C-alpha cells in the first residue's frame, strides 16, 4: 500500500536514514515556547468566543483529542536549509500522528522528489495562480483525513532565506490565504535561529509563540503574526547574548518553557560591565 505523503509512516521510513545524518550536521535542536501536547486539538481557546457548532465533535473515544483536531499551521522565519526539518520537530512534539504538508517552491521539488513523499506541496511565486493548486491539495488532505489524524502545514512566508535578525521579517500575504482556506484552524508563529557556538556544526534554537485562532469571523493578521515570530527570535537572541557559548547548556529542559524577553532599549545584559550582577568596581 502506498504511503501517504507527509504521513507518519513516510516520515518514519525517511528518518531512519536522515536522523543519523542530521545529528552530524546540527549539534543540537533546542525547543522552547511550545504549547503542551494536545492543547492544539480543538477550536478557539477563548471560551467566550467558542462556537461548539463549528468545532469537531468528540464521540466514541472522546479522550483522544487528536482525532478531533483542526488544522495547525506552523509559520516560521526562513534562515537555513534545515528549517523544514526543524518545523518537523515541532510537529513531532505537538501533533505526532498528523499529516505534515510543507508549502515550498516547485523548483525545490523538481530537484529533490523525496520532499514530495514527505508532504512537500509546491507553488511558483512567478505564477500567483499556482497557489490555487496548493489550496486544492490542502483542502483535500483536510477533508479526507481530518477525523483520523489531522493536518499540520508548515509555511515560510519570507519566500527566501534571510538572517534571523532581519527586521521587518517581511512576511508575504500568502499565509493569510492558506489560513482562510483551512479555517477554522490555528496558526502558530515559530522563530528559528542557528548559531555555531564552539562547535563545527551549528545548534538550532526554535521558539514558538502563542497560537492564533482563525475562522470565518476571525481573519489572520499577518503583521501581528510576523510580530509573534520576531518576538520569539528576540527571546532566542537575548538568551544567547546572556549565555554565549553556554547557551545550549542553559536552554530550558522543557519545550513548553518560555525564554525571557530582551531588556528594554538601552538596557544591559546580565554579566556585562554595568549590568545586573556587576559591581561598580568591575566597571571602572
Residues 261 and 167: their CA atoms lie apart, in Å, by 17
* Predicted pLDDT of residue 49: 45
> How many angstroms separate the most distant Cα atoms in the chain?
72
Whether the pLDDT of residue 284 is over 60: the answer is no
Percent of the chain with pLDDT over 90: 64
The predicted model scores a pTM of 0.84
CA angle 65, 71, 72 (to 5 degrees): 95
* Predicted pLDDT of residue 55: 38
41-45, 46-50, 137-141: range with highest mean pLDDT = 137-141
* Predicted pLDDT of residue 37: 65
Whether the pLDDT of residue 47 is over 50: the answer is no
- Of 18 and 113, the structure prediction assigns the larger pLDDT to 18
Instruction: With CA atoms as reference, report the closest residue to 222 among 184, 163, 168, 260.
Output: 168
pLDDT tens for each residue of 19-38 = 999 999 999 999 999 998 65
* Predicted pLDDT of residue 46: 47
Whether the pLDDT of residue 277 is over 50: the answer is no
- SS3 (DSSP) at 204: strand
pLDDT tens for each residue of 49-80 = 444 444 333 222 222 334 447 999 999 999 99
pLDDT tens for each residue of 167-185 = 999 999 889 999 999 999 9
- SS3 (DSSP) at 238: helix
Which segment of 26-30, 102-106, 159-163, 220-224 scores lowest on mean pLDDT? 102-106
- Of 132 and 236, the structure prediction assigns the larger pLDDT to 236
- The 10 Å Cβ neighbour count of residue 250 is 11
Residue-by-residue DSSP string for 102-136: EEEEHHHHHH-THHHHTTEEEE-TT-GGGHHHHHH
Ramachandran area for residue 2 (φ above 0: left; ψ -120 to 50: alpha; else beta): beta
How many CA atoms, within 13 angstroms, populate the side-chain half-sphere of residue 201? 13
Percent of the chain with pLDDT over 70: 81
pLDDT tens for each residue of 171-220 = 998 899 999 999 999 999 999 999 999 999 999 999 999 999 999 899 99
Q: Which residue has the cell 536514514?
A: 17
Residues 108 and 221: their CA atoms lie apart, in Å, by 28
* Predicted pLDDT of residue 126: 75
Whether the pLDDT of residue 128 is over 90: the answer is no
Residues 116 and 89: their CA atoms lie apart, in Å, by 18
Alpha helices (runs of H) in the chain, residue ranges in sequence order: 8-25, 83-94, 106-111, 114-117, 131-145, 174-182, 222-243, 247-250
- SS3 (DSSP) at 76: strand
Amino acid at each position: 500500500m502506498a504511503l501517504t505523503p507527509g504521513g507518519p509512516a513516510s516520515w518514519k521510513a525517511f528518518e531512519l536514514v536522515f536522523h543519523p545524518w542530521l545529528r552530524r550536521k546540527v549539534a543540537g535542536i533546542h525547543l522552547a515556547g511550545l504549547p503542551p501536547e494536545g492543547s492544539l486539538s480543538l477550536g478557539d481557546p477563548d471560551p467566550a468566543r467558542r462556537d461548539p457548532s463549528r468545532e469537531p465533535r468528540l464521540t466514541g473515544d472522546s479522550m483522544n483529542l487528536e482525532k478531533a483536531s483542526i488544522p495547525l499551521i506552523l509559520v516560521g522565519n526562513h534562515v537555513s536549509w534545515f528549517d523544514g526539518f526543524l518545523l518537523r520537530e515541532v510537529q513531532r512534539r505537538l501533533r505526532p500522528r498528523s499529516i505534515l504538508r510543507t508549502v515550498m517552491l516547485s523548483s525545490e521539488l523538481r530537484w529533490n522528489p523525496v520532499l514530495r513523499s514527505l508532504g512537500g506541496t509546491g507553488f511558483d511565486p512567478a505564477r500567483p495562480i499556482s497557489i490555487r493548486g496548493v489550496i486544492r491539495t490542502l483542502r483535500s488532505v483536510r477533508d479526507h483525513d481530518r477525523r483520523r489524524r489531522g493536518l499540520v502545514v508548515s509555511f515560510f512566508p519570507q519566500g527566501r532565506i534571510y538572517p534571523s535578525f532581519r527586521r521587518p521579517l517581511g512576511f508575504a500575504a500568502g499565509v493569510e490565504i492558506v489560513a482562510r482556506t483551512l479555517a477554522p484552524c490555528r496558526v502558530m508563529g515559530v522563530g528559528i535561529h542557528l548559531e555555531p557556538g564552539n562547535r563545527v556544526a551549528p545548534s538550532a534554537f526554535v521558539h514558538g509563540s502563542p497560537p492564533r485562532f482563525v475562522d470565518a469571523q476571525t481573519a489572520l493578521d499577518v503583521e501581528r503574526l510576523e510580530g509573534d515570530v520576531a518576538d520569539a527570535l528576540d527571546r532566542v537572541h537575548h538568551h544567547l547574548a546572556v549565555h554565549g557559548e553556554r547557551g545550549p547548556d542553559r536552554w530550558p529542559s522543557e519545550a513548553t518553557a518560555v525564554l525571557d524577553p530582551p531588556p528594554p532599549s538601552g538596557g544591559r545584559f546580565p554579566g556585562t560591565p554595568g549590568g545586573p550582577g556587576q559591581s561598580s568596581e568591575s566597571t571602572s
